[in-house]
Structure 1
């Protein structure tokens, strides 16, 4: 009987030198930290991607959505067919867009922060990060080579610290509050990242998973995450521009208005509560003379009443920073005034006036009522801005500059609504510029025109970044339409037919 014995002549196992084993341990820790930062903890006790979990989620939400659709207008069937044809004819462009989306960003970074939004963590609480890809950076070996020999694709930390931080765009996608997805902003990233811009596109829950307040909370949380963590990816948290399209423009406008108005309200109440006539009296000055020199009791009373009136419109809003909602969540810490700018594109800003119009376009009133809690006025940015203006609220110091963009041929959210919203913002002393694109539809600026090589929207956004961001004209080169990522990717014939089929 032969026993399996270890060969006595076999060489002993080679032990790694202490410095090598320690270095490998550090590498594993770096990779683990990076994986946690990029992908976050598990969702609902599951792994980052569980096929069974997502199939169950899609089936459940899909059946719930279908149950709402069949009880309302059937115009959506016709619109769905037009959407299908729209995608078919633009397939050459969508293939380029999809390829870039798969290869371009850092995918699925978890941005969930407890205490800001309604509900629990969801698989929609993820965002994509598109890093700048300037030509100068591509020629720099330090960007692609790992000079610190740590097997970590983040490169040399010392070199990253010395590089200037990139200005950031946070893009809020549209989708009629139902079909929004973070992929919809890939074309914007494809055009702007080669010019040195870092683009963040957060996903957020849609109907029927959550209503408008939850959507606003998700976006509030995403901006909070960007402010806290984007520097770790080379972005500049002090130079962030918010951009939103369609439903994203609506939700972003509501979020900024409610947060800025709440900040103004808090400052006004703090001013009144800390007001003391004794503090106005110089040493040895007569009290009556001090009142006459500074403020009368009557004007002080009027100021108190005005302050109270200016905050009444927020009492029942339920915004993330509103005191009436403090029992639900703590809210975020970022302020709208910390943003460099806000660019809403083709947004529906007056839901009250658009309710019948949405019905005729296939978006049933029952669904709209569910999304907005049967209170369209409460979630209409134009109405909120007008109410605040009627209460003599001045948001000039609390709101970032605005560039409102709309297409003149928009049939989903008519151009007149954008013009009225711009006027309402100016009534709050907010710096607001309105740009109307002649003969453009709801999706022309973000899809058809970029597919044809017309980057007018992306150029305008980029120029606003150069204007608003600190040293923007020095840090950002002029927009170059000749870049490979800005040229035509679809035949004009396909684009023309797709525009005729476009349901939006």
Structure 2
């Protein structure tokens, strides 16, 4: 018989939420100095890596401690029921099968001279971002601001390292934005963090060789939900003439990968998948807030007409075999955007799961339809970049095919 542990009754009040967040922020605040910035106007000004091996190991240990401590705090809220035990075991086996790839990516993440880790963009815990810089410094580069997933509770900027490394090889700068997870913060904190991270990128990316007029916003899973909320909220603020820290006009396009955009339709689905209703509603700050943080619902509001017209081109990607977030979630959002006159398209991948598009396929190397589409979209107006892409060598394989297939079978996602 399955058992689960609900949140304490004291978690129902907004005051308790605030106290919890303050406690978590005090516990988990890690002060990390930002790396020197790269100025594209002068190659000689490019910072050299001066970190010692011991310093790098210490940084890796600190990052690992942060993720581990948050995971144990999360388990305190989830309880230890049969469903969670089986999922944790499946996750452990899944990670072991993909470990050859994870270790290679981790080595590049910590020791590559093209990665700038934990750049501070705000004053809250987890207000950090990682930059992945192309080795070619000629001219200003397009930029992808990426927000990773993690069910709003285990998201972490390093989860986007494989994407960042591979796009950097195609002369695209990637900025992976970290944000507070539950129980450090709730959904409004996450959206505010991401919006602040986007503002930092818009204002400062030119100092790292990025083009502030070619910024693309991308989110995956929960990160797709959070980033789309940030984009829509910013458009609404801008349409009403409110003070803003960045403009929606600076975003050339939005890419949403395997996201959920109408929380009202997903509560029961997540509950049946193990993200229990009590916890999910706590993350989303109560049932009344579900509409406020559902982009599909937000764009249907007649008062958002002007905001919808300001949205950039939106492209949603989803696998038809995704059981974590059904592909119907993306289809319904695109249909709603079309009815409201927004530019949007949906690209479905037959038989692909929640992790195929973001993990297994990139680790497989070679040709990848989603990766190739994103690169071609970003380089559409740059003939020289398109020519270089056509001549680019196949992406490297990180994991043997047999391990990838086994991992797909045991994946808990």
Question: Shorter-chain TM-score category?
Answer: 0.7 to 0.9
CA separation of 1:396 and 1:368: change in aligned 2, threshold 3 A: closer
Q: Which residue of 1 aligns with 2:130?
A: 128
CA separation of 1:416 and 1:343: change in aligned 2, threshold 3 A: same
Gapped regions of structure 2 (runs ≥ 5): 1-32, 39-55
Matched-pair contact (CA < 8 Å) for 1:174–1:180: yes
Q: Which residue of 2 aligns with 1:87?
A: 95
1:155-194 equivalences in 2 (<5 Å): 163-194=138-169
Matched-pair contact (CA < 8 Å) for 1:221–1:332: no
The answer to whether residue 109 in structure 2 is matched with residue 101 in structure 1 is yes
Matched-pair contact (CA < 8 Å) for 2:146–2:176: yes
The answer to whether residue 353 in structure 2 is matched with residue 441 in structure 1 is yes
Q: How many residues were matched structurally?
A: 360
Partner residue of 1:472 out of 357, 382, 404: 382
TM-score normalised by the chain length of structure 2: 0.80
TM-score normalised by the chain length of structure 1: 0.66
Give a deviation string over 1:185-244, Cα, whole Å, max 9, x none.
Answer: 112122211211111111111111000110111111111111111111111111101111
Give the match's secondary structure for 2:291. Answer: coil
The answer to whether residue 408 in structure 2 is matched with residue 499 in structure 1 is yes
Matched-pair contact (CA < 8 Å) for 1:408–1:415: yes
Give the match's secondary structure for 2:354. Answer: coil
The answer to whether residue 210 in structure 2 is matched with residue 235 in structure 1 is yes
Give a deviation string over 1:110-144, Cα, whole Å, max 9, x none.
Answer: 111xxxxxxx522x1111111113xxx3xxxxx7x
Matched-pair contact (CA < 8 Å) for 2:35–2:117: no
Matched-pair contact (CA < 8 Å) for 2:34–2:119: no
Give a deviation string over 1:372-425, Cα, whole Å, max 9, x none.
Answer: 111322211112222x2x457144541111111111111001001100011112
The answer to whether residue 287 in structure 2 is matched with residue 369 in structure 1 is no
CA distance in 1, matches of 2:35, 2:164: 23
Tell me which structure has the larger Cα radius of gyration.
1
Partner residue of 2:196 out of 204, 221, 226: 221
Q: Which residue of 2 aligns with 1:359?
A: 271
Q: Which residue of 2 aligns with 1:312?
A: none
CA distance in 2, matches of 1:404, 1:187: 20
Give the match's secondary structure for 2:379. Answer: helix
CA distance in 2, matches of 1:341, 1:456: 18
Matched-pair contact (CA < 8 Å) for 2:376–2:386: no
Q: CA deviation at 1:337?
A: 2.1
Partner residue of 1:343 out of 255, 267, 289: 255
Give a deviation string over 1:434-464, Cα, whole Å, max 9, x none.
Answer: 1001110111111111112242221111111
Q: Which residue of 1 aligns with 2:343?
A: 431
Matched-pair contact (CA < 8 Å) for 2:195–2:230: yes
1:374-393 equivalences in 2 (<5 Å): 374=286, 375-386=289-300, 388=301, 390-391=302-303, 393=305
Matched-pair contact (CA < 8 Å) for 2:131–2:174: yes
Q: CA deviation at 1:59?
A: 7.9
CA separation of 1:493 and 1:259: change in aligned 2, threshold 3 A: same
Matched-pair contact (CA < 8 Å) for 1:37–1:109: no
Partner residue of 2:78 out of 50, 69, 75: 69
Q: Which residue of 2 aligns with 1:45?
A: none
Gapped regions of structure 1 (runs ≥ 5): 1-32, 39-47, 113-119, 138-142, 144-162, 267-320, 322-330
Give a deviation string over 1:78-106, Cα, whole Å, max 9, x none.
Answer: 21111111111111221222122122311
Matched-pair contact (CA < 8 Å) for 1:74–1:362: no
